[in-house]
């Protein structure tokens, strides 16, 4: 994997979350709720910062959430396998169970926060999606109730439950799209909890996951700034549109750019961007390579 060199003039970073909100473990439910609220308030500011490639950020978080969901389902596929399934499978070919989980998360973060936008969710009735999106309450408590309700109705629908819980959280916060947090902070044991125990687990999960999401946002903002800086040097036809694609998706194979340029030109562009230090080759392979910010 190529390692990005440190930019000479890195993009300005936002303030770090307060240390007391991210260090250690909450001693009681009240402290856990307070920490989660502080982490979400900080993340809200990071989410709206100038220069953040927000579609790419959500896509990366969706891949993290998909890996967690795969683990919850008892499977062992990780980042590499999910990336391959999502980026290298031809249209119409089966993705496999893990790939389907990845596709569900990727679709969820690009769709409006409405019942129509999120439907279908695997294993969950459309009326349950509508009911849970209409639920009221404080953001994390609302998400915990949604998670509990979906798993009570469909115990094996972990992926759908986590997507809908993150949707409930995002809707309560006034966001226009899902930002995957709960799947990235919960453990398999947490999904077996209910009531106050599940609500506490969700507060703790958000307090863990939100600072990690904020850190990823800062990193992607710096990397996007560097990519924008070198974009004017690119002379290939379709290069500007290719750059926008890299700013919106976790990883791309050169073949994904062939509607913009020839296959050879797409490979040369990817290698050029790696040589300029603004893209990484993510697989370490000699063939079937994937590239991303």
161 and 103 within one domain: yes
**Closest to 241 in 3D by CA, of 223, 258, 221, 229:** 258
Residue 168 lies in a domain: yes
278 and 174 within one domain: no
270 and 128 within one domain: no
197 and 275 within one domain: no
pLDDT at 283: 94
- What one-character-per-residue DSSP string does 68-100 give? HHHHHTT----HHHHHHHHHHSPTTS--HHHHH
pLDDT at 22: 55
Residue 8 lies in a domain: no
Domain boundary among 187, 220, 253: 220
Residue 3 CB coordination number (10 Å) = 7
Q: What residue ranges of the chain have pLDDT lower than 70?
A: 1-27
pLDDT at 208: 92
Domain boundary among 220, 244, 261: 220
pLDDT at 17: 59
pLDDT at 59: 97
Adjacent-strand bridge partners of 151:
none
176 and 34 within one domain: yes
Domain boundaries, position 279: 234-292
- The residues, ordered by sequence, that sit 6+ positions from 268 with a Cβ below 8 Å of its Cβ are 236
Q: How many residues does the chain have?
A: 293
Backbone angles phi, psi at 292, to 5 degrees: -160, 165
Residue 22 lies in a domain: no
155 and 120 within one domain: yes
The per-residue pLDDT for range 116-170, each reduced to its tens digit, is 999 999 889 999 999 999 999 999 999 999 999 999 999 999 999 999 999 999 9
Question: Count of domains in the chain?
Answer: 2
pLDDT at 281: 96
Q: How far apart, in whole angstroms, are the C-alpha atoms of residue 98 and residue 75?
A: 8
């Amino acid at each position: 994997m190529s390692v990005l060199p440190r930019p000479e003039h890195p993009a300005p970073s936002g303030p770090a979350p307060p240390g007391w909100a991210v260090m250690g473990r909450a001693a009681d439910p009240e402290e856990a709720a307070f920490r989660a609220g502080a982490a979400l308030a900080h993340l809200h500011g990071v989410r709206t910062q100038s220069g953040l490639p927000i579609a790419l950020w959500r896509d990366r978080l969706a891949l993290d959430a998909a890996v967690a969901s795969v683990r919850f389902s008892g499977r062992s596929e990780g980042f590499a396998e999910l990336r391959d399934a999502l980026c290298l499978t031809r249209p119409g070919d089966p993705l496999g169970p893990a790939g389907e989980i990845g596709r569900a998360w990727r679709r969820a973060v690009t769709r409006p926060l409405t019942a129509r936008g999120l439907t279908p969710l695997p294993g969950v009735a459309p009326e349950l999606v509508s009911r849970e999106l209409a639920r009221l309450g404080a953001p994390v408590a609302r998400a915990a109730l949604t998670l509990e309700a979906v798993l009570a109705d469909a115990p094996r629908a972990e992926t759908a439950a986590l997507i809908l819980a993150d949707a409930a959280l995002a809707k309560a916060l006034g966001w226009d799209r899902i930002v995957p947090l709960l799947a990235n902070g919960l453990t398999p044991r947490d999904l077996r909890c209910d009531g106050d125990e599940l609500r506490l687990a969700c507060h703790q999960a958000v307090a863990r996951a939100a600072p990690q999401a904020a850190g990823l946002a800062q990193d992607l903002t710096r990397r996007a700034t560097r990519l924008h800086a070198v974009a004017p040097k690119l002379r290939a036809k379709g290069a500007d549109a290719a750059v926008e694609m890299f700013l919106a998706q976790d990883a791309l194979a050169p073949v994904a750019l062939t509607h913009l340029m020839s296959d050879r030109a797409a490979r040369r562009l990817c290698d050029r961007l790696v040589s300029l230090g603004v893209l990484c080759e993510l697989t370490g392979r000699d063939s079937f390579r994937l590239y991303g910010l």
